[in-house]
Amino acid sequence: MKLSADSKANTLVVEVDGARRELELYSEAGFAALSRLWVEVGWSLKYTYAFTWMGRPIIQLPEDIVRVQEVIYALKPTVIIETGVAHGGSLVLYASLLRSMGSRGRVVGVDVEIRPHNRRAIEAHELAPAITLVEGSSIDPATVSRVRELVEPDDRVLVLLDSNHTKLHVARELEAYAPLVSIGSYIVATDGIMETLDEDPRGHPGWKTDNPKAAAAEFARAHAAEFVLEEPPFPFNEGSIHFRVTHWPGAWLKRIAGPRIGAR
């Protein structure tokens, strides 16, 4: 992508794959073009590696943090399951939101390897009583079974997938954990931004098709009677921008029908 902006003339020239468009700079379309480039460059420079939540590195785009907070407050889940633990910042975020809402809900973090220093830090955190760590591949049947045992029949469940981001792995996670999702809640295939990072210095050409967004789209088509790809609504918006600046495009699979199975 090539951009040429003129703030005085209120123009933004966008060139992608030889196609040229001229937009108003101060417009939603202009902001979208600038945001896409900003997000992609920021991803390459590890912009998201500079944030913590209550002392733990979170490695998420700040707008995605705010968005998931909006969803959690609206849904008020009693169980939040996340695959991919890393430093534990997201787990602490979810636990802090549940406790601040007066909920006794639980957060379950699943990872193929929870490094000892991260485990120690998470287990020593003030919010550790609200967090359960499950070590093992997120798609291993034994791991999935252990997670399902932590879910009660009347729980309201939200699932976020943030571990191995290959299309195949995410597809298997979707099949494994979607049955736990409550009606009206979501299973979220994060980091679909990979689709547009195939030419990024830290990216890979194969990411154009091998990414979580592609897995979510295929899952939605295969399970159309139960799930729909649907962005959470804006709970408040008095601005002129009607899209999100996000690392999670095409991520939000909302359960619209079907019994929640797999809970004990």
Pair 30, 104 in one domain: no
Q: What pLDDT does 18 receive?
A: 85
CA–CA separation, 47 and 62 (whole Å):
10
| Confidence grade of residue 112 (pLDDT, cut at 50, 70, 90) | very high
Q: Is residue 176 part of a domain?
A: yes
CB-side exposure of 113: number of CA atoms within 13 Å? 4
Pair 130, 239 in one domain: yes
Task: Evaluate the CA torsion angle 216, 35, 88, 103 in order and state its sign.
Answer: negative
Pair 136, 191 in one domain: yes
Q: Is the pLDDT of residue 261 over 90?
A: no
Q: Which domain holds residue 29?
A: 2-44
Q: Is the pLDDT of residue 259 over 90?
A: no
Q: What pLDDT does 147 receive?
A: 98
Pair 6, 99 in one domain: no
pTM metric for this prediction:
0.96
Pair 12, 127 in one domain: no
Q: Is the pLDDT of residue 179 over 50?
A: yes
Q: What pLDDT does 163 receive?
A: 98
Pair 128, 25 in one domain: no
Q: Is residue 262 part of a domain?
A: no
Q: Is residue 230 part of a domain?
A: yes
Pair 230, 160 in one domain: yes
Mean of pLDDT values over 224-239: 97
**What is the CATH classification number for the domain harbouring 76?**
3.40.50.150
Per-residue model confidence as pLDDT tens digits over 126-159? 999 999 999 999 999 999 999 999 999 999 999 9
Q: Which of 44, 60, 76 is the last residue of a domain?
A: 44
Per-residue model confidence as pLDDT tens digits over 195-225? 999 989 999 999 999 999 999 999 999 999 9
Pair 145, 40 in one domain: no
Q: What share of the chain has pLDDT > 90, as a percent? A: 95
Q: What share of the chain has pLDDT > 70, as a percent? A: 98
Q: Is residue 260 part of a domain?
A: no
Q: Is residue 15 part of a domain?
A: yes
Pair 106, 225 in one domain: yes
Domain count, the chain: 2
Amino acid at 229: L
Q: Is residue 248 part of a domain?
A: yes
- Burial group, residue 238, by CB count within 10 angstroms (0-12, 13-18, 19+): exposed
Strands (E), the chain: 2-6, 11-16, 19-24, 52-53, 56-57, 79-83, 106-111, 131-135, 157-161, 186-189, 227-229, 252-255
Pair 6, 59 in one domain: no
Note whether 95 and 131 are within 8 A (CB): yes
Q: Is residue 261 part of a domain?
A: no
| Confidence grade of residue 262 (pLDDT, cut at 50, 70, 90) | low
Q: Is the pLDDT of residue 264 over 50?
A: no
Pair 147, 29 in one domain: no
Q: What pLDDT does 197 receive?
A: 96
Q: What pLDDT does 263 receive?
A: 47
Pair 32, 119 in one domain: no
